[in-house]
A and B are shown apart, each in its own frame.
Chain A
Amino acid sequence: MIRKKIGHRSESSATGETGPAMPEVGHLVDSSAEAPADSEAVNRRDFLHAGAVGVVGAMVAKRPPAIPEGTGATLVRDAEAKAAGTKGGVRAWPERPEGWWRRSDPVVHPAKARPSEFREVEMDIQIVRHEIVPGYSFHALAFNGQVPGPELRFHEGEWVKVYFTNKTELLHTIHWHGVDLQYENDGVPYVTQHPVMPGATFEYTFQAIPAGTRFYHCHFGTLLHMQHAMHGALIIEPDKDPIREEFGYTRDYTLVLSSFATNDARADLNFMLERMKQRMWLMKEGALDDETLAVFETKDALLAAIERGWDPPYLPNRNQKGPAAVPDYNFFAINGKGYPVTDPVYIRRGETIRIRLVNGGGLEHHMHLHGHQFWKVAEDGNLLNSPTLMNTVQVGPGKTVDIVVEGYNPGYWTFHDHDTSRVTNNGMYPGGMLTVLVYEEMADYDGYHPKVAIDE
């Protein structure tokens, strides 16, 4: 049995450097299917050269770039892919990938499956001070002390036990978002389990299926808990990854997108902690009743309580949350940090990378990559019917999106939410949900290199 304590974020997870060494250039196709195949297929090095001249040269008009090689600013054509049928930036998979997921058999209860081996993981939840940008910290609910929580990677089909210990005075669960599991491990308080009490440990058991980019989050007081850092990426890796087979990506990045309403959360957390201290005392004394906890055995019991004169807490005459009930988001992060301290995404010319976008917050983001078209290949962890070429991808709350970026345009390219109110730190632009796609060759380039501007 493997028992793994998920501690500090691993180096490979932080940098995204997983997978084999860089192979040959992946396949790109033209958006114009009518173009003659023989004239469009170009040498990869020539293409990169031309792209660099076209874009970087335009940025620094008086200084010729020193990364030069290539012939054209058009996309590489791929006769093989074209033969499979492409049009308008949409590419069909060459054939239905082997890893294409379709389920017909029912989910197996762990007790019936009796797996001989589990992957075991220890997780906890703590309240920590998290510095999202230099000089600004806030109290966050952090899995294993990290914001976001540690990235979990399992092999498809692997049985998993997660020992989750609650080290706060609040109630929590973990919901495994997008995983097909037996319902009592789904982590929804009062629907599939009792919430995990302070100091208690809950054991989640599930089989890691289906493959794809998933995530996990607390499902108790979700508005506050999930959006205030109780979320993290959950990657289920198939034996044969159709995206890797199709695109040959070499590095695999995960970008967890988060939105924080730090002022509302502070008020709300203080209020919840005050209330929970009292409830914990009542619980120990056996004096916590349904009406105080606002949890009833049945709907009829709730209606009976109202009939007796009990006012539900959502009524305007007793709603105690006030303005904190509606978050006023003021900080935005990628992997727990806001620009300018977001980790860059690195690429090399000719390299193809995969980026997994996980929206752990409550806002919709529109991630735009400058200077490139990229392929959207999966949504909610599931392969799309066909990859779609785009430069701005929508990632809604609770959504994951996988994209593949091909390194054909050396430079520094911002990758950010195009709702620029989220490219801010406490209202100051630029900041927040912005990172940079950095070509590693740029270190040797004598042209313009990025500065760190935080007040425009």
Chain B
Amino acid sequence: MRNILVLALTGFLFVTLAVRSEAQESSPRFTIGGRGLASFNINRASLDGPGGGTATDDGAVSDFSDSFLLLRLDQLLYERHRAGMVIGFLFPDAETDLGEVFYNQVNVFYDAKTFAGTMGRTRLNNFLFEFPTLREEDVLDYGFVLNALSNAKNSEFSRYGNVVKAEAFALNSRLAVGGQVANWTVTDSTGARVDDFEINAFSGQVTYRLPGAIRYTEVLRQAGVAVHAQDVQVPGQRWIYSFLASGAVNLTRHPLRNIELAGQVVYNRGISDAASGTERAARLGTPMGRARARSTAFMASLRFLRRPYQLERLQASVTGGYKSYEDIDASQFVLVPNLFFRLGQGVDLGVQYQFETFRGELAAIRGRSREHSVKLTLAFNFQARFNDYFGDRDDILNMEHGYVR
């Protein structure tokens, strides 16, 4: 029913745009973007037995998860600020219980020269850097503060939530101080969603980001620190705190052969209780347990982008992650090299290999010591903007030649 309502709303939006109302004096700016992403995945998981033997589990699937469509409409306000709305949906993994589509973006936003705010469902501020893997969920355990209120086996509940977030650009359009109060999706122990829309998380962050239009102009491309708190309300402890730090640099500012190095660390203080080591290890068997475990995750990536004639044609990257759990003999490691060829504007043909190991207690609990996967993919990305009648805060003219309200 909910899906039908949102689809009806989306349809109404199109009709409204197509047939301009007599009463409407100013049509909104309209941006549509999306990605069609399909991959053929070949997987092999293996578990080293105590006697030295190895059990393997092979499989192959066709996967179109993380394909999405986004509509953004915004309007110049009487005070020359901007406000608008975003509606978007993506296709989650088949093995989740999210249905055919998941409405990951349903929000309204307000934007001006020195501040920006968003209310509604959108991205959580639980990461600082997007690493160059085919899908975000490929490195979810390493690159994100995980949802400690959900036991569902999906990545969406750790990436999207209902939020009120704001950023202030104190000095310029690169340096932002931001905060977020959020309702992270809550589930019961079986992973079933429960209707709990209370605010259950806070975060704050300071970030420096080179806007995309000038991404090659300086060595320092991104840096940031953040702190998160999730309201887990377990006996003796209400909050789980997580701390993030990240940085990215252009190893070469060459715009035709750019090399970028990035890193991020996520320290999760987790739950401090009197549980034994065995009990703590057992908790790693569930998504909620892993999210609540005290851990440190490191990630780093090296990306090479070849842009002959200033057109993206090839990207090669390798991303690595390591996560260790304190007080438990458990750790995990991932290595993700990939290669993408751009066949035409927005159309990428790619291959990604992923190798992941689980060590110590984690291997037994998760039932695997190693995972290999190869993904062959074809992706179509696009963005088109219509009725583009005002500039953005971070476009070059507004950043460098005086802000036009």
Q: Hey, which bits of chain A sit against chain B, CB under 8 A? A: 127-129, 137-139, 263, 266-267, 269-270, 273-275, 277-279, 281-282, 285, 287, 291-292, 294, 310-311, 313, 317-318, 320, 323
Contacts of B402 in A (CB 8 A): 128-129, 139
Contacts of A128 in B (CB 8 A): 401-402
Known: A139-B401, A266-B391. A285 touches B254 (CB 8 A): yes
26 A-B pairs with CB atoms under 8 Å apart are A128-B402, A129-B402, A139-B404, A263-B388, A263-B389, A266-B388, A267-B388, A270-B213, A270-B397, A273-B400, A274-B213, A277-B214, A277-B396, A278-B216, A281-B254, A282-B256, A285-B254, A291-B308, A292-B256, A311-B309, A313-B309, A317-B344, A317-B345, A318-B311, A318-B345, A320-B345
* B217 nearest in chain A by CB position: A277
**Cα distance, A292 to B254, chains bound together (Å):** 13
Answer yes or no: B255 CB below 8 A from chain A CBs.
yes
* A266 nearest in chain B by CB position: B391
Taking the closest CB of chain B, its distance from the CB of A403, in whole angstroms, is 36
* A310 nearest in chain B by CB position: B309
**Cα distance, A4 to B214, chains bound together (Å):** 37
Contacts of B213 in A (CB 8 A): 270, 273-274
* A138 nearest in chain B by CB position: B404
* B405 nearest in chain A by CB position: A137
* B307 nearest in chain A by CB position: A278
For chain B residues 269-323, which have a beta carbon within 8 Å of chain A? 308-311
* B389 nearest in chain A by CB position: A263
Complex contact B388–A282 (CB within 8 A): no
Taking the closest CB of chain B, its distance from the CB of A322, in whole angstroms, is 8
Known: A277-B217, A282-B256. A269 touches B397 (CB 8 A): yes
**Cα distance, A275 to B343, chains bound together (Å):** 21
Contacts of A269 in B (CB 8 A): 396-397
Q: Hey, which bits of chain B sit against chain A, CB under 8 A? A: 213-214, 216-217, 253-256, 308-311, 344-345, 388-389, 391, 395-397, 400-402, 404-405
Between A274, A279, A311, A320, the greatest number of chain B beta carbons within 10 A of the residue's beta carbon is seen for A274
Taking the closest CB of chain A, its distance from the CB of B28, in whole angstroms, is 14
- Given contacts A129-B404, A292-B308, could you give 19 more A-B pairs where the C-beta distance is less than 8 Å? A137-B404, A266-B388, A269-B396, A269-B397, A270-B397, A273-B213, A274-B214, A277-B217, A278-B310, A279-B310, A281-B217, A281-B254, A281-B255, A282-B254, A287-B254, A292-B256, A292-B309, A318-B311, A323-B388
Complex contact B253–A281 (CB within 8 A): yes
**Cα distance, A313 to B308, chains bound together (Å):** 12
Complex contact B256–A127 (CB within 8 A): no
Between B214, B254, B397, the greatest number of chain A beta carbons within 10 A of the residue's beta carbon is seen for B397
**6 shortest A-B CB distances, which residue pairs?**
A278-B255, A273-B396, A127-B401, A274-B213, A139-B397, A129-B402
Taking the closest CB of chain B, its distance from the CB of A323, in whole angstroms, is 8
Complex contact B397–A282 (CB within 8 A): no
**Cα distance, A279 to B402, chains bound together (Å):** 23
Taking the closest CB of chain B, its distance from the CB of A349, in whole angstroms, is 43
Contacts of A323 in B (CB 8 A): 388
* B343 nearest in chain A by CB position: A317
Contacts of A278 in B (CB 8 A): 216, 255-256, 310
